[in-house]
Structure 1
Amino acid sequence: MLDQGAPPRTPRTEPVPAGLGTRLMRRKPVERLVAEGGQGEGGSLRRSLGLWQLTMISIGATLGTGIFVVLGEAVPKAGPAVTLSFVIAGLTALFSALSYAELAGTIPVAGSSYSYAYATMGEFVAWICGWCLVLEYGVSVAAVAVGWGEYLNELLDGTIGVTIPAALSAPPGDGGIFNLPALIVVLLAMAFLLGGARESARANTIMVCVKIAALLLFCAIGIKGFQSGNYEHFMPLGMAGVSAAGATLFFSYIGFDAASTAGEEAKNAQRDLPRAIMLSLIIVTALYVLVAAVAVGAKPWKQFSDSEAALAGIMKDVTGQTFWATLLAAGAVIAIASVVLTVLYGQTRVLFAMSRDGLVPKVFSKVHPKTGTPRANTVIVSLFCGVLAAAIPLGQLADATSIGTLFAFALVNIAVIVLRRTRPDMKRTFRVPLSPVLPILGFAFCVWMMGSLSTITWIVFGVWMAAGLVFYFCYGMRRSRLNDADARVDAPAVAEK
């Protein structure tokens, strides 16, 4: 029986841990993402990059991988229609680039699509996206580094008449034991990044200018060997071949989103990031199609092989001299080094953002107070990518990168639609035209191109994602910084009578 003389008790609520579903779907508000921008463990990133540097970062990360490295693999799949494959891959990238441009201007932080997913679709989807980015950036650094070694040998052979032995210039499975040049170029990129973002951007700008000059030189020389008969059977392997080549060549467009990883080091991120993304994609696509058209016109498509130094070989065939091929190889050595530099930069910034959120160890978000760079992060990532480059064949790396990229891009297109519906009044410096039609098309193209990849690529991707899920549930979910008051829910109030 209740004590009638006792004072009434105040109803109270008890905070209880959120359920699994709530924890997986918890979002990080845009305002909180922006407020935390630049802050790391023990220091902060420095805002030192303008529109020009941001555009050069995206071009540096993009231009070179498809033309200098993967063209020799794509032409046998599509024939002369490889130019159409470049257009299809570029169109797929364009739809996603529009979505990236809107989100980069709205959520100007490091982390790229990982951060965008965190603000729109929740922590679990963000983790999946971030894990895909780790695959995209990390593996592409290794893949491009392998191609760099091919052109270095071409340059050494044309200048001093020596080459690095196959045992030390190719990974296991490709006739080698350890790819030393690939490891060296990654370590050189690491040295630049440790000097600071501004210094790295300055070096990258110089290398990008050399890269563009080398490709224009190829077009000027290669056009002399152009034969219209090489285009008589434009699509000998049908649309399936064009699609398969396009999926492989999409690897060459992955760098356009590199500028979005610099959101916390841009002087005026909301204005400059969308512009840099779109400018870089337009310039790169135009050069890709031009160079591919000249290459196929100068050499019958059946004579292309999977040699990474395809353009240098065409220069030698057209001129009958080794000088021009050697000059192109010199440009390619510098050009591909810039890809390694900028993509490695993007990888470190994605991990920086994930670490700041607690999903990966804190060491990745420690910033050196003098240089304003995540030093430990840069060293760890560089060593990992360098060893990967020295041990894995290029073809498998390129396709693994493509599937991770396509998956991340698909999520970005969804994120634009979600943010438009949940935060329609938010300030946007760039808006995707015809939304949601273009984001839906971007998503559909990504899914379609993923379906064109080989079964082994899907198996590798599945194993990678399984490993990521194990890491998230064992580490990331428990250490997430959202495991505080905003990750709890109140129990229903129960009045004691």
Structure 2
Amino acid sequence: MQKSLEHTHMPAMKRSLKLWQVIVLGLGYLTPLTVFDTYGIVTQETGGHVPTAYILALTAMLFTASSYGKMVREFPVAGSAYSYTRQSINPHLGFLVGWVSLLDYVFLPVINVLLGKIYLSAAFPMVPPWILGILLAAITTLINFRGIQSTANFNTLLVLFQVIVVTIFVCLSISHITAASSGGAPFTVRPFYGEEISFPTLLTGAAILCFSFLGFDAVTTYTEEAVDPMKTIPRGIFLVALIGGVIFITTSYFTQLAFPTIDLFHNPESPSPEMSLILGQDLFYAIFLAGSITAALASGIASHTSASRLLYAMGRENVLPKKLFGRLHPTRGIPARNVFFVGAVSLAALFLDLETALAFINFGALTAFTAVNASVIAHYYIRKKRRSLADTFHYLISPLIGSSFVVFLWFNLDSHALTLGLIWTLAGIGYLLVSTNFFRKKPPVIEFEEAI
């Protein structure tokens, strides 16, 4: 006979996260300042129509965000795409989705340590970079070990500072635009639409910008720590993507007006430091650099949290070794061993380059997006036969639209990402074959009513 968690002596994750805290954690993962990371590249790609490319990317991501929301209502547990695929399609396929998703979740803390190390080295050139990397990894680990409330509250301050930096950047841009208008109309639709606009290049730009939205899906890993997760998590997923999109579109619009061309910058692919110097001199340049360091730390903390929860979901089901990954701290109610494990993995930033780490993340994220859209169709439209006119749109057409854009993103992955991702996938297939005795037995499945 099954026992619910409340009737056992096993520690359980503590339900304390409110909607605003879930949103802040999601935005911390998303990183508002990431709008500047790809701005130069996408400006070149789209001929100066970054806001329109963001609108396309946001629209596409909202369809996939909707799919996440539908699945979390049915399976309110911490495993995200891994859990949804296991339950909706096939447990073996679910394992592979979880295995590949680890690339996204576990390597993002690595990237944030890498970026933070770069920004800190610019601010403190006298300190060896490896010391800065270890310091960042230690800070994110210790904050996560304090518990989900401490993590959420600290991340709130970091996200708030990023929003302040973005707001100052926009205000300075407006001042710059007004001063340079010479009596003409300072604000035009030019960044959104011009005669030379090209839909194919917009799609290519949107494919690059979709990776700015990585993080809205990580909200699902907080399901077992959220108050009223059936409402809180779906709303949180959608609002994180929407709020992030509004910030990206607004910021890129005014930035595009202030700097219609980026060819004059020393580094056209990454012109934001030079932009901040032009807009606000040395003072704002220092503030902008501090914002970049804060962004890396905020995203590092949030991604660290998500990675430890995904590892816990897989360990709890003994897909990964339960003794190592499937245990909670007896008093803190967090997967403490996983927190320290992710902290140790993030030290890979001392040896890896940014391109390699990004390749792992992109492959993992697209695998998760594809699997969740497919899970909606498999669970609702095929298994539950929800096929009325409205249901057909919600459970077939909507996830197909989300999937179609994800397929486009797959075609835009570089060969480096595909190669590394496929190698990791083959390693996962090998592990699966051994652990299931060549598919003769199924991976263990958790009873989801115990986690609600």
- The residue number in structure 1 matching 2:449 is none
- Alpha-carbon distance between aligned partners in 2 of 1:325 and 1:447, rounded to the nearest angstrom: 39
- Alpha-carbon distance between aligned partners in 1 of 2:110 and 2:263, rounded to the nearest angstrom: 28
Of 378, 381, 388, 1:418 maps to 378
Aligned-partner residue type, residue 163 of structure 1? P
- Alpha-carbon distance between aligned partners in 2 of 1:109 and 1:75, rounded to the nearest angstrom: 40
Please list every run of 5 or more consecutive structure 2 residues that lacks an aligned counterpart in the other structure.
181-185, 447-452
- Alpha-carbon distance between aligned partners in 1 of 2:267 and 2:378, rounded to the nearest angstrom: 42
2:211 paired with 1:251 = yes
- The residue number in structure 2 matching 1:20 is none
Residues 206 and 40 of structure 1: is their aligned pair in 2 closer, same or farther, counting only changes over 3 Å? farther
Alignment of 1:139-154 (within 5 A): 139-154=107-122
Residues 485 and 268 of structure 1: is their aligned pair in 2 closer, same or farther, counting only changes over 3 Å? closer
- Alpha-carbon distance between aligned partners in 1 of 2:344 and 2:9, rounded to the nearest angstrom: 21
Please list every run of 5 or more consecutive structure 1 residues that lacks an aligned counterpart in the other structure.
1-31, 157-161, 170-178, 487-497
- Alpha-carbon distance between aligned partners in 1 of 2:363 and 2:72, rounded to the nearest angstrom: 22
CA contact (8 A) 1:65 1:144 kept: no
TM-superposed CA distance for 1:51, in Å, is 1.1
Q: 1:108-146, CA deviations, whole angstroms, 9 ceiling, x for partnerless residues? A: 101111111111011121112112211111222222332
Of 328, 337, 340, 1:367 maps to 328
TM-superposed CA distance for 1:356, in Å, is 1.1
Residues 70 and 262 of structure 1: is their aligned pair in 2 closer, same or farther, counting only changes over 3 Å? same
Q: Which moved more, 1:129-138 or 1:299-308?
A: 299-308
TM-superposed CA distance for 1:472, in Å, is 1.9
- Alpha-carbon distance between aligned partners in 2 of 1:221 and 1:55, rounded to the nearest angstrom: 27
2:126 paired with 1:126 = no
Of 69, 73, 76, 1:101 maps to 69
Q: Which moved more, 1:446-455 or 1:79-88?
A: 79-88
Alignment of 1:115-264 (within 5 A): 115-154=83-122, 156=123, 162-164=124-126, 168-169=128-129, 179-226=130-177, 238-264=198-224
- The residue number in structure 2 matching 1:110 is 78
Of 276, 282, 287, 1:315 maps to 276
Q: 1:268-317, CA deviations, whole angstroms, 9 ceiling, x for partnerless residues? A: 11111111111111110000111122223333233467689743321102
CA contact (8 A) 1:352 1:365 kept: yes
Aligned-partner residue type, residue 219 of structure 1? V
Question: How many percent of aligned residue pairs carry the same amino acid?
Answer: 22
TM-superposed CA distance for 1:214, in Å, is 1.3
CA contact (8 A) 2:71 2:376 kept: yes
Residues 381 and 136 of structure 1: is their aligned pair in 2 closer, same or farther, counting only changes over 3 Å? same
- The residue number in structure 2 matching 1:296 is 256
CA contact (8 A) 1:247 1:452 kept: yes
RMSD over aligned CA atoms reads 3.3
Residues 117 and 324 of structure 1: is their aligned pair in 2 closer, same or farther, counting only changes over 3 Å? same
CA contact (8 A) 1:80 1:235 kept: no
Of 319, 333, 339, 1:378 maps to 339
Q: TM-score, normalised by structure 2?
A: 0.85
CA contact (8 A) 1:40 1:367 kept: no
Q: Secondary structure at the match of 2:329?
A: coil
CA contact (8 A) 1:78 1:235 kept: no
TM-superposed CA distance for 1:53, in Å, is 1.0
- The residue number in structure 2 matching 1:62 is 30
Residues 104 and 96 of structure 1: is their aligned pair in 2 closer, same or farther, counting only changes over 3 Å? same
CA contact (8 A) 1:112 1:260 kept: yes
Q: Secondary structure at the match of 2:49?
A: helix
Of 418, 424, 429, 1:458 maps to 418
- The residue number in structure 2 matching 1:355 is 315
- The residue number in structure 1 matching 2:183 is none
TM-superposed CA distance for 1:417, in Å, is 1.4
TM-superposed CA distance for 1:66, in Å, is 2.8
CA contact (8 A) 1:251 1:401 kept: no
TM-superposed CA distance for 1:204, in Å, is 1.2
Which structure is larger by alpha-carbon Rg, 1 or 2? 1
TM-superposed CA distance for 1:330, in Å, is 1.7
